[in-house]
A and B are shown apart, each in its own frame.
Chain A
Amino acid sequence: DAKTTQPNSMESNEEEPVHLPCNHSTISGTDYIHWYRQLPSQGPEYVIHGLTSNVNNRMASLAIAEDRKSSTLILHRATLRDAAVYYCILRDLDETGANNLFFGTGTRLTVIP
């Protein structure tokens, strides 16, 4: 699986938008970009995923660069409950069967009241 690079940590003020970057310059044409987050003392939870087009759901938006070598997870209004470690993961969904995810070190987001 191709590698991703994320900043170790970021800070945001409460109720402001947050843009979490991820670089994946070796991404292949069939790799989907996934984001998970892990709140303190919990298991990771799925946030969003996409292939080429930008994606929106109730939790966040995913903006994917035209060349797909980078992406940005956007939290439109950060709340204290969004403080977590955010993981950007590439996974080829063309493979059948179970989908193994390989987590990196992620970005630790701190939300300041």
Chain B
Amino acid sequence: ETGVTQTPRHLVMGMTNKKSLKCEQHLGHNAMYWYKQSAKKPLELMFVYNFKEQTENNSVPSRFSPECPNSSHLFLHLHTLQPEDSALYLCASSREGSSEQYFGPGTRLTVT
């Protein structure tokens, strides 16, 4: 238990569906991150939020839309995904200035 929770843990969606992934941290951190982990590939940093402001968008397609309403919650809105978007989506958080990131367990997404 890292203090970072993600829901749902598993998600199967069609290419025309719209769904959202949720991340919540109970650690008082002010930076939050979305990563994508595809099979046999390194973790890819997708988005970074610092004090609710997006500070990094690592060339992510617009079918992925992040939202950070406050420092404790982070969402990833998904629409018209492709099968190659199937992956493990990991959320993490950290204190400002700290490189110690705490990761959630991830959401295993399958796009059919």
Contact = CB atoms under 8 A, between A and B. Distances in A.
Q: Please classify the interface of chain A as helix (H, G, I), strand (E, B), loop, or mixed, using the class held by over half of its residues.
A: loop
B76 interface: no
Interface string A8-42: 00000000000000000000000010101000011
Contacts of A36: 101
B26 to A, nearest CB: 15
A98 B29 CA distance: 10
Contact of B50 (A46, A97, A105, A106): A97
Interface of B: 2, 4, 31, 33, 42-43, 45, 48-50, 55-56, 90, 92, 94, 96-106
Interface of A: 32, 34, 36, 41-46, 49, 91, 93, 96-106
A42 B42 contact: no
10 contacts: A41-B105, A42-B106, A43-B105, A49-B99, A97-B31, A97-B97, A98-B33, A99-B99, A101-B45, A104-B42
A40 to B, nearest CB: 12
A43 B104 contact: yes
